Amino acid sequence: MFADTDIKRLRLFFSRAEKLRASATGLMKNLSLEMSYKANEPFRTRFDGPDLHDVKAALLDLRPFILQGEPTHFFSICNILYTNTADDAVAARVAQFREAWAKLVQKNGPPPGGMSMKVNDRELSACDITDMWLNGEFFHADIEKVGLLESLHATPMGKMTYLSFIDLVQKQTSLVLWLSADVVSRMLGEADGK
């Protein structure tokens, strides 16, 4: 049985997920990075994916799900769902969502389908790349991260890190939307029926 505060948090998660669904339409485009090289010509790269406006809009709405301490933080909502359901199938589904999210945000190595990179002898995990973009470009102006981004923009690695970042944001967005539609809406429906 869910406590009243848990129901309020689930409702908030669901409503914020609906906002994210609306703003993420432009974010969820196919990603591609084309690289080409010909002798005696500069190395060329071309990134195709969501435009900057769509990325910023989706990031603003994704932020409450990724920041620890927020009432809609993905792990905390999974914990509420897992500990308050009597349905073993729902508990197993929530555990799958939580495991998938944990793999995306792991500190070492690439997430499933993602990449890690080595830049100037510095290993950059997917978490490092995400941190660099969030805190050096989108949400903050961390001097070290801004400097690293500026140095990368002049190289093919800049577009590769951006591709990795957008890929991770797309996957996190998908997990939030799936959890909301697959489990949270069902649990709220059951709570309303009681």
- Give the whole-angstrom CA distance, residue 137 versus residue 129: 11
pLDDT at position 112 is 60
Q: What is the domain count for the chain?
A: 1
pLDDT at position 3 is 92
**Cβ count within 10 A of residue 158:** 18
Give which of 168, 156, 184, 80 is closest to 130, Cα–Cα: 168
Q: What is the DSSP string of 82-149?
A: HHH---HHHHHHHHHHHHHHHHHT-SSSPPTT---EEETTEEE-HHHHHHHHIIIIIS---HHHHHHH
pLDDT at position 126 is 79
Two tokens at 22?
Answer: 């609306």
Point out the residues of the chain with pLDDT beneath 50. none
pLDDT at position 47 is 80
Which domain, by its residues, includes 157? Answer: 4-192
Sign of the Cα torsion 46, 52, 56, 58 reads negative
pLDDT at position 170 is 94
pLDDT at position 114 is 63
Paired with 123 in beta bridges are: 118
Residue with tokens 């799958």: 96
